[in-house]
């Protein structure tokens, strides 16, 4: 996927020429949004979402968190108008959820990637680009632009999608979600199936979408991903918001002071610890920095890719 460099201008899409919503209004606003799935018996009814009051501001990255079955996908489907609420309401880009015009301004990556197995990546995107009424030249430009943007290895673009790895298919799904240059991008578990490097690239890409002025709503189980990219989050539990706020306000630990330094002589380390102790500091944890397995993995893959590129070998199969 693309690096964290300034975002390229997204190709202007002829078919997606939908008036941008008023920047003063929230991208998403729900009012006591509730979804109860009926069962044969009343005892089998499932309250997937209860009285959800949620506001996502324009231009922010908002994370929807929660354990399995807490209502994340249900929220997303309600916002897209794919299912109807039992009660309450939702407005998306200033219009009631499901509105046909605002839908054209929404890009959606579903939890599972649903793509035609017998088409290749280019044919798949070309198919969707036709649905947006793009002409041939626009389609050709947009397809290559977004496949580059999501970092799909050029070597696999002509291969049918049925043969793709999970991560490769996920990238095509994301390219499809972005094809109409939407204002609001809704990503259900965007990093599912991606390796650590793919995950990092996906995070960079989400940040690029923000820099390009888009609003992103994402759901994820991967908390460190969410922490790295989101401005604000909420945590759902059994369909209710239990925690909501900015990442900074929720995670700041005010009473812990942290310093990191390289090449500190052992004797100085001892003096620093002693100084802290005599100043009344508690729970002092001196230690040696250990790099993370994730860093080791990423370093190895990046080195291999660079070597392959230098030697003109096969791509990394992204």
Residues that bind ligand ATP (CB under 6 A): 37, 46, 48, 66, 68-74, 111
Which partner from the list Mg ion, ligand ATP, none does 11 bind, CB cut-off 5 to 8 Å by kind? Answer: none
Single out the residue of 30, 70, 73, 191 in contact with Mg ion (rule: CB under 5 A). Answer: 73
Q: Could you count the other beta carbons within 10 Å of the beta carbon of residue 13?
A: 21
Cα–Cα distance, 203 to 26 (Å, whole number): 23
For 63: left if phi > 0, alpha if psi spans -120 to 50, otherwise beta; the answer is: beta
The item of ligand ATP, Mg ion, none sharing an interface with residue 71, based on CB under 5 to 8 Å by kind, is ligand ATP
Structure tokens at 228: 């790295």
- Report strand pairing: 61-65 vs 215-219: parallel
74 vs 180 by CB, closer to Mg ion: 74
- Helix/strand/coil for 68: coil
Q: Is 75 in the site for Mg ion (CB under 5 A)?
A: no
* Token couple for 315: 């791509």
Distance CA 27, CA 255 (A): 36
**Is the CB of 13 or the CB of 78 nearer to ligand ATP?**
78
Buried b (16+ CB within 10 A) or exposed e, 195-223: bbbbbbbbbbbbbbbbebebbbbbbbebe
Contact call for residue 220 and Mg ion (CB under 5 A): no
Cβ-based nearer residue to Mg ion, 10 or 206: 206
Residue where the block lists tokens 């043969």 = 163
- With CB under 5 to 8 Å by kind, the binding choice for 120 among Mg ion, ligand ATP, none is none
Q: Is 199 in the site for Mg ion (CB under 5 A)?
A: no
Given the complex with ligand ATP, which of 71 and 151 has the nearer CB atom?
71
Which residue carries 């008036």 as its tokens? 19
Give 62 or 149: the residue with its C-beta nearer to ligand ATP: 62
Nearest approach, Cβ of residue 68 and ligand ATP (Å): 4
Work out what residue 46 binds among ligand ATP, Mg ion, none; the CB cut-off runs from 5 to 8 Å by kind.
ligand ATP
Binding footprint of Mg ion, residue count (CB under 5 A): 3
Q: Do residues 217 and 13 touch, judged by C-beta distance below 8 A?
A: no
Question: In this complex, which beta carbon is closest to Mg ion, that of residue 70 or of residue 102?
Answer: 70
Residues that bind Mg ion (CB under 5 A): 72-73, 111
């Amino acid at each position: 996927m693309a690096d964290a460099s300034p975002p390229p201008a997204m190709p202007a899409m002829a078919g997606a020429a939908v008036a941008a919503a008023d920047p003063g209004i929230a991208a998403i606003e729900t009012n006591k949004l509730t979804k109860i799935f009926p069962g044969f018996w009343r005892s089998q009814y499932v309250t997937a979402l209860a009285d959800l009051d949620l506001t996502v501001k324009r231009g922010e990255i908002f994370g929807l968190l929660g354990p399995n079955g807490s209502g994340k996908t249900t929220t997303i489907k309600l916002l897209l108008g794919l299912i109807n609420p039992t009660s309450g309401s939702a407005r998306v880009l200033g219009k009631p959820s499901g509105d046909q015009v605002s839908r054209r301004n929404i890009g959606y990556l579903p939890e599972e990637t649903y793509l035609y197995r017998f088409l290749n990546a280019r044919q798949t995107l070309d198919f969707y680009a036709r649905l947006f009424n793009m002409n041939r030249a626009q389609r050709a430009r947009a397809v290559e632009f977004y496949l580059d943007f999501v970092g799909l290895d050029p070597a696999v673009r002509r291969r049918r999608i049925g043969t793709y790895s999970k991560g490769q298919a996920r990238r095509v799904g994301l390219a499809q979600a972005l094809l109409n240059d939407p204002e609001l991008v809704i990503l259900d578990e965007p990093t599912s199936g991606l390796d650590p490097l793919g995950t990092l690239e996906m995070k960079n890409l989400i940040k690029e979408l923000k820099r390009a002025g888009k609003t992103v709503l994402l759901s994820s189980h991967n908390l460190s991903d969410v922490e790295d990219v989101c401005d604000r989050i909420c945590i759902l539990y059994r369909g209710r918001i239990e925690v909501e706020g900015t990442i900074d306000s929720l995670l700041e630990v005010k009473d812990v002071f942290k310093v990191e330094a390289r090449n500190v002589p052992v004797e100085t380390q001892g003096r620093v610890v002693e100084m802290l102790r005599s100043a009344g500091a508690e729970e002092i944890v001196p230690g040696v920095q250990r790099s993370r397995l994730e860093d080791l993995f990423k370093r190895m893959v990046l080195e291999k890719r660079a070597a392959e590129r230098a030697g003109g070998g096969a791509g990394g199969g992204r």
